Structure 1
Amino acid sequence: MADHPRSKGLSSAVCYKDAKAAFRWLEKAFGFEPTFVLLDADGNLAHSEMEYGNSSIMIGNEWSDDHRSPANLGGKNSQTVHVQLGVGENIDAHCETARAAGADIIAAPETQFYGDRTYRAKDPEGHIWTFGVTVEEKTSEEWDAEGGFTTKTRLDD
């Protein structure tokens, strides 16, 4: 809700050339829930927020040379956003909804060694989004053996 303090946690802020269009598209394509829109005196989107599960994301316009859309950076991304679906949700159907809305599916749904099924998509301005859902709960020993990794809590000094 827009009228109460946020709880402790992380949120990403994603910049777009056309934040209003992005806001509407993210709801349609990915199922994000609108929670807060702040319009300036001219009706331009000054700030907005959306939720997915217990997480939120801020959607806004480019506002400085350091806050740009990939559409103005030759398609380059310096980060991606990972969205975890709830256990039992159909990630293949989620992917098809995104595709139908115009997402560029850059990695089709595939089950990973650690037990999640994931896909990656680019939105119309080139932001990369990864979606995942746990389809098989595995221990770190199991995914280490399958993937050839060593799982730890911390890096050694």
Structure 2
Amino acid sequence: MSDDNIPAPTVWPTLRADDARALITFLVDAFGFVEVAAHGEGAIIHHAELAWPEGGGIMLGSHRDDGSVWTLRPGTFGCYVVTADPDGLFARAKAAGAEIRQDMHDTDYGSRGFAARDPEGNLWSFGTYRGEPRTV
């Protein structure tokens, strides 16, 4: 799929991290996200965007307990990500040291995938299931 066919994301799952720079590096190395932007000062990341090569992306930043609406606890995020190559991604994640929480498996609804945790404790599930067709 060429970049021209990938729609711009309109929903951005968002998470916080104790070590945002290390998490960004892990998500790029282990899962194949692409770092698009990272704004901050020193070790603090105020805002980062990571693109998923098959469409969509996530936003993240350093955890800070400043009373803002985005004061989320690190390690409490969970996300399902669609991939056309779950077996290749599974091998990549294992090679990068991801904590595999559910081995590669096939579901009764036609998906093939696996689940892993990142170093911050967030749960990532990857699979081929794209959701049910929309009727509206």
- Does the alignment pair 1:67 with 2:65? no
Among 114, 119, 126, the alignment partner of 1:124 is 119
Aligned to 2:97: 102
Q: Which residue of 1 aligns with 2:22?
A: 21
CA-based RMSD of the aligned residues comes to 2.6
SS at match of 2:121: coil
Structure 1 pair 8/34, CA: closer, same or farther in 2 (3 Å)? closer
TM-score, length basis structure 2 = 0.79
Q: In the alignment, what sits opposite 1:38?
A: 39
1:111 is the counterpart of 2:112: no
Look up the equivalent residue of 2:16 and give its one-letter code: C
Superposition map of 1:44-83 within 5 A: 44-52=44-52, 53-64=54-65, 66-70=71-75, 77=76, 79-83=77-81
Gaps of at least 5 residues in structure 1 are: 1-6, 71-76, 141-152
1:84 aligned onto 2:82 = yes
Q: Is the 8 A contact 2:33 2:50 kept in 1?
A: yes
Q: Is the 8 A contact 2:17 2:61 kept in 1?
A: yes
SS state at 2:108 partner: coil
Q: Is the 8 Å Cα contact of residues 116 and 132 (structure 1) preserved in structure 2? A: yes
Between 1 and 2, higher relative CO (CA 8 Å, sep ≥ 6) is seen in 2
Query: Looking at CA atoms only, which structure, 1 or 2, has the larger radius of gyration?
Result: 1
Is the Cα–Cα contact under 8 Å of residues 15 and 68 in structure 1 kept in the other structure?
A: yes
Which aligned segments of 4 or more residues in structure 1 are displaced greater than 3 angstroms? none
SS at match of 2:109: coil
Taking only the aligned residue pairs, the percentage that are identical comes to 28
CA contact (8 A) 1:32 1:51 kept: yes
